[in-house]
Amino acid sequence: MLDAIGTHLQEFILTIGYFGLFLLMVAESTFVPVPSVLIMPFAGSLCVGADAKMMLPLVILMNSLGALVGSMAFYEFGARGGKPILLKVGKWFLVKPSDIDKTEAYFQKPGRLTVFIARFIPVVRHFISFVAGLGHMPRTPFVVQTVAGATIWGGFLAVLGYVLADHWMDVVKTIKKFDLAIGLSIIALAIFLFVRFWRKRKAEQAAKLSA
């Protein structure tokens, strides 16, 4: 299935070019599960040879710009609409206003590299911008960390494709399996933590009612 998705994404890049790559990186920085590990190495491989269809510096630039635009859009969504939404629906998941306040306090502390680190972690990279916006992380460090993380990760993948040329898929298959394993582990951990959180809140509510 992933191979089929990768083929469609690669055809999209070949058809639209740099702008197509930019759009895919915008989507990858939101909740859309676009796998950069299948896109950037391929784009890098298109920069090889006399008949190269792309230039490596522009490929990396499109990656960084796309990541910034997508991340900022998701950040603004979290900053402007995240809290009202959670205040309305959070009660169904036992999320209290104080939990949102803790998120805001976390992202207000200077020196945290949460957004930068998240750019290297599958699944997490798709949602970190929304959470950072929800926590009203200052925009300047958010932009710096987003661009730095996206450029390093996307640039590494693009250079990998450039160096390996037609053999980029051989290495990417291994990275893809590793990425998938990490992603599934994170999802499993998130479910475990949510169930644990939900049980704790239910116990707190029961204690209040019996008091």
d(CA 24, CA 35): 9
Distances (CA, A) of 168 to 14, 34, 171, 183: 17, 18, 6, 22
pLDDT digits (tens, 9 = 90+) for 128-161: 898 899 889 999 999 999 999 999 999 999 998 8
14 phi/psi in degrees, rounded to 5:
-65, -35
User: Mean pLDDT highest for which of 13-17, 61-65, 93-97, 201-205?
Assistant: 61-65
How many domains, in total, are found in the chain? Answer: 1
Is 1 or 83 the better-scoring residue by pLDDT? 83
pLDDT confidence of residue 25: 93
SS (H, E, C) 85-144: HHHHHHHHHCCCHHHHHHHHHHHHCCCCCHHHHHCCCCCHHHHHHHHHHHCCCCHHHHHH
- Cβ neighbour number for residue 190 with a 10 Å cutoff: 13
pLDDT digits (tens, 9 = 90+) for 193-203: 556 655 666 66
Does position 76 have pLDDT exceeding 60, yes or no? yes
Name the nearest CA neighbour of 102 among 80, 71, 135, 132.
Answer: 135
d(CA 35, CA 49): 25
Q: How far is CA 78 from the centre of its chain?
A: 14
pTM: 0.77
d(CA 167, CA 45): 9
Query: What's the domain range around 144?
Result: 2-210
